[in-house]
Structure 1
């Protein structure tokens, strides 16, 4: 699995892949957008890729389930 980390740097934000590759950005949004583009390009070739954002608030599932019944049913 290839992992892109979007992290806060001293003078902005950066995308890191391992300790060797780093791409600087002025804004967090641009760094996230570029990291997602890189991950999607890698996924198109059949590889697994993920984006991890530093200090991100965890969210729920990205897709809704088709079953609209309450959990207690």
Structure 2
């Protein structure tokens, strides 16, 4: 069965945050990042504020019920980044 994709709004995104933190921990533990518990904790602590940003959207990919990918972002004014 192919992966399934779900778009989350700010209201529905928090339902997948725990799985997103677990995925982050696995993905970013690998080189070149080699992030450890402190970086994972910082990501987890910052994540709840992200849906409050204007235009926030989160897309997640599941394969056989497992979270295998995610991307999120928000809108910014020109020149901000």
Q: State the TM-score, normalizing by the size of structure 1.
A: 0.29
Q: State the TM-score, normalizing by the size of structure 2.
A: 0.27
Over alpha carbons, which structure has the higher Rg?
Answer: 1
**Which protein, 1 or 2, shows the higher relative CO under an 8 Å CA cutoff with sep ≥ 6?**
2
Greater share of helix residues, 1 or 2? 2
Greater share of strand residues, 1 or 2? 1
